[in-house]
Structures are given as structure tokens and as C-alpha cells.
Structure 1
Amino acid sequence: MSLQIINLTKKFGEQIALNTINIEINNNEIIGLLGPNGAGKSTLMKSIIGALKIDQGAILFDGKDIRENEIAVKKKMGFLPENNPLYREMYVKEYLNFVAELHQISKERIDEVIDLVGITPEKSKKISQLSKGYQQRVGLAQAILHSPDLLILDEPTNGLDPNQIIEIRNVIKQIGKEKTVILSTHIMQEVEALCTRVILIHEGNIIQDTNIEDFKGKYGSLEEAFASYTQQ
């Protein structure tokens, strides 16, 4: 798998959300996408998955322009948005059956994914009856059900307790051995635990794209490095 983002620019009115972004991502990486609120992270993720129209520049997935190969490319991507939009009146397995039908994949895969994300005890419940942690797992299950080559996660552990955070991190780590993951988070411990590479976006510009150690550099922690790079 390869993802190339070439001179990507996105404006909302006069505001520049992404300013001539260039990124190249290859297979089997877990990448931490960092930045302050309003930096352009969500705009970038939504552009990659095709939810936002590209104004200028291009995004190539396996060498194919995502605008010209929209359906084929989306089949190879999984996305868990920050607000995790689930059908809360559906039962867990019913919902995942529905997602499997959309992707035209076998029902056998559903039980495999239910087991992987740790929701077996809850699979017969309504989604609305689940805790926030289990709802996050259901969202993660739908994102990986079709075995995407690229998985994009926006704040996947938001609102979870410490035990749930560790469990979700373990699932992401397991997925990252075979797939490429872009993980947007404000939690630096998460970046340190999971990521080999950091892309830092600030005011619509990429200001760092490097491995964890080089990102941290002379600073005592990732938090210090983040604060220094974004307050300059």
C-alpha cells in the first residue's frame, strides 16, 4: 500500500485549512497525526477518505487518483471518526451484519472481528445499551471489518477508562503489524506507545514529519516537543 498526498490545499471561504500539504506513507506503519485543535487534522483525514472535495493538489492511493477511483479506493480504507456515528437502536451483530453486506464480505468475518475487538460478551445487546468503551469497539469493528489496507482513526480512545484505553491500543498495535494506521490523538502517551512516526500539522502546514526519537529530539518529552513546535 502507498498513499501520496501531493500539494494538497483546502480552503473554507478565505480560511486556508490545508496549505500545500505533501506526505508519503508506505505499508505497515502506525503514524501519529498530531496538531492543536483547528490545525487541519480532521480536514486532512476527511480529504484522504473522500468525504471532502479536493480543491487543489492530488491524493494517490496505490498510484491511483482517489477522485477517479473513488469506490475502489474506499473499499481499501477504514475510518473511525471522532464522534463514532453508530446506529444505536440496532443490535451489535445486526449492525455489523449490515456493514458486512455493504462491503459484500462473508458473515464469518463478523465473529472474527467481534473477537478481535473484544465485544463477544456484548454482541447480542443494543448498541445504545453499551458503555462508551464498548461503543468505541463497535466503531472500530466496523472500520476494520473489510480488512482495509489503510485504517484512519480519529481520537479512538476518547472518553475511555484506563483499562479500555490499553485494550484498544493493543488492538491497534495488532492491526498495525499488517496494515497502515493513521492515528489522530492529543494523548502523547498513545503516540509513544503505538507510533513509529509523527506528522505534526499546525495552522494548515506540516511542520514535522519524522520518527518519534527525532521528533522528541532535545526535549524531555513528546508534550514538551509538541508545545515548542506549535508555539513558535
Structure 2
Amino acid sequence: MAALIHISNITRRYGDLCALDDVSFELQPGEVLGFLGPNGAGKSTAMQIICGTLSPTSGQVIINGADLQSDPITAKGHIGYLPETPPLYPDMRVDEYLTFCARLRKIARSQVALSVEKTKQRCGLAQVGSRVIANLSKGYKQRVGIAQAIIHNPRVIVLDEPTSGLDPNQIQEIRDLIKTLSQECGILISTHIMSEVRAICDRVLILHQGRLVYTGPVTTVKDSALLITLGQESKWDYLAQLPGVSHVEPIDQQRFRLTLSGSTSAADIAQAIVAHGDKLYELRPDQGNLEQIFSQLTLGETNP
């Protein structure tokens, strides 16, 4: 299956400053890809290059088979983009704004009304079409921002901090929407929120000082360390002998952190503990693990 985004050896220089240094990666259909990095890592530069608003010094960007440099109109037609601050016109009504966006995207005049209605349904905006955007809650404004990004049914959606400033309920609604949209396209998300990555991303990229320093499935990050709680009478010394366990760290008399190796899953560990005759009260991914990887790679920390 052909990649929706193919980034090959992208470099961007500003005089003596190298903002991006030989970065390569791909986005696959149906994938939600998390784009992480500290401030100044080069995320914004990379996203501008992907969206065609900034040219790379060297390298190649292919969007759904179209070369962004030699065929920019076709390539950009495959992209929907939501910047951190949604590009809304607050004095317009939702229907008016989305109609305007559909015309900008060169949707046939006879199809504009249908496209607006379908997009409102997808984004949960069916009941607010006649509302003035300025009077909407921040969560609904964010939905309108996503709606303008997808109204032309792009194959690639680029979202910059899509849940920034939202309350917990709004965050969950936007996450659910992103998961639904990913069934029909590929999504690239730039965020500083680790829980966001764990909740909705399939794979994560970490940039540091313009270089790509980590790439891997989020499931691997989640499962590489587990927190477990055993019974009070457990003799836990057997844990280190379980297949796939490379390290055991006691937290207290009943709780332990297990570091896994290879393809061992949480289900394998649970089955092994129960088969040993022990009582397993809790087993969950160590959610601090992604933060630890991020810190080690971007701050030079070596201790987990």
C-alpha cells in the first residue's frame, strides 16, 4: 500500500541554522501519526514544508503520489490542514463559512451544499449551521476548524495541537472524531500532550534539534513496561524468570514495574502470573514510559 506522505531526506536551513536535518518518514493510509518534540525541535518547519507553505533546502515530499515541488497544486489538493489557531471568520455563520471554504477548495458549485452537509454530519455540527462562529464554544470552534480541513475529502489531514485549551469532555469528543476520520485517510498530529499520543496515535515520531531521533509504534511504547499489583502473600522473585521479562523493579510490597523485551504482550504476562498460581489484582501499561523516552532523547537523560 502506497504511503500517503513520503518524506525523503528533508533539510531546511536558515543561513547557518539548520532547522531540519535529513529527516525521512512516511504516513500510511488509516494511520494516526504523532509528531512530538520540544519547542524549537523543527516540528513547525516540517509541517509547513509538508503543507507546501515553506520550501525545503533539499529533499523530497510526496503527497499521495504527487511531488509537492514539481506538482504543487495536485499535492496540496490532497491535504487538509488545521493550524493551532483555527482559521475562522468569527462574524460568519457556520454554514456560510463552510460554503466559503468549499468554494476555495474548488468543489463544483452543484456539490457545495452536499459537501457542507456531509462535513457537518461528520464533525457533529449539524445543529449549529445557522450559529455565528463567534458565539460557539471553543470545542465547537475546533470542530469547525476540522470541518474546513476535511470539506474536500483530503487523503492527508495535518492537525497542529487539535485539543489545545479544551475541557476534558471536548478533548474526548475531538479524539473520537479524529479516530473516525482516520478510517478514511491518514492523519499527522503535532502535539505536546503525551496522553494525546497514547490515546489516539498508532505511531510516534520525536524530533530533537532538527533531527528525527525516535520512531516507533505507540503500542510498543505502551507495552514495553507494565505496572502490576500482586497479592499480599506473593513471592515475587519468580517474576524475573517469566519469558519476556528483562527487569523487575519493586515499587512496594505488592506493586512492581516489569520491563518487557521482544514481542511479549501484557496478556502473556497476565497468563504467566495466573498460571504460576499468584493473585493478580492490577496490570496496566506504565504510562510514564513515553515521557521517559521523550526526556531521554531530548534532555540527554539516561536514567529511567
TM-score, normalised with respect to structure 1: 0.95
Q: Which residue of 2 aligns with 1:5?
A: 7
Tell me if 1:223 matches 2:291: yes
Between the aligned partners of 2:69 and 2:137, the Cα distance in structure 1 is: 38
Between the aligned partners of 2:180 and 2:29, the Cα distance in structure 1 is: 14
Choose the corresponding residue for 1:45, options 22, 44, 47: 47
Higher RCO, 1 vs 2 (CA within 8 Å, ≥6 residues apart): 1
Gaps of 5+ in 2: 226-258, 260-285
Tell me if 1:94 matches 2:96: yes
Change (3 A) 1:63 1:104: closer
Between the aligned partners of 1:63 and 1:129, the Cα distance in structure 2 is: 40
CA contact (8 A) 2:8 2:60 kept: yes
Q: Is the radius of gyration larger for structure 1 or structure 2?
A: 2
Q: Which residue of 2 aligns with 1:16?
A: 18
- 1:120 aligned counterpart, secondary structure: coil
Alignment root-mean-square deviation, CA: 1.5
Between the aligned partners of 2:55 and 2:43, the Cα distance in structure 1 is: 15
Q: CA deviation at 1:62?
A: 3.3
Q: CA deviation at 1:104?
A: 2.8
CA contact (8 A) 1:8 1:58 kept: yes
- 1:122 aligned counterpart, secondary structure: coil
CA contact (8 A) 1:46 1:52 kept: yes
Q: CA deviation at 1:141?
A: 0.3
Tell me if 1:124 matches 2:130: yes
The one-letter amino acid of 2:151's match is L
Q: Which residue of 1 aligns with 2:77?
A: 75
* 1:1-232 paired onto structure 2 within 5 Å: 2=3, 3-105=5-107, 106=111, 107-215=113-221, 217=224, 220=286, 221=288, 222-232=290-300
Between the aligned partners of 1:116 and 1:27, the Cα distance in structure 2 is: 19
- 2:179 aligned counterpart, secondary structure: helix
Q: CA deviation at 1:6?
A: 1.1
Q: CA deviation at 1:190?
A: 1.1
Structure 1 residue runs of 4+, over 3 Å off? 213-220
CA contact (8 A) 1:208 1:215 kept: no
Q: Which residue of 1 aligns with 2:246?
A: none
Between the aligned partners of 2:27 and 2:50, the Cα distance in structure 1 is: 12
- 2:143 aligned counterpart, secondary structure: helix
TM-score, normalised with respect to structure 2: 0.73
Between the aligned partners of 1:96 and 1:213, the Cα distance in structure 2 is: 36
Q: CA deviation at 1:61?
A: 2.1
CA-to-aligned-CA distance 1:75-125 (integer Å, 9 cap, x gap): 111000011121122111100001111223322121121122122232212
Q: CA deviation at 1:165?
A: 0.5
The one-letter amino acid of 1:231's match is L
Change (3 A) 1:76 1:63: closer
CA-to-aligned-CA distance 1:42-62 (integer Å, 9 cap, x gap): 111110010111211111223
Q: Number of matched residues?
A: 232
Identity %: 42
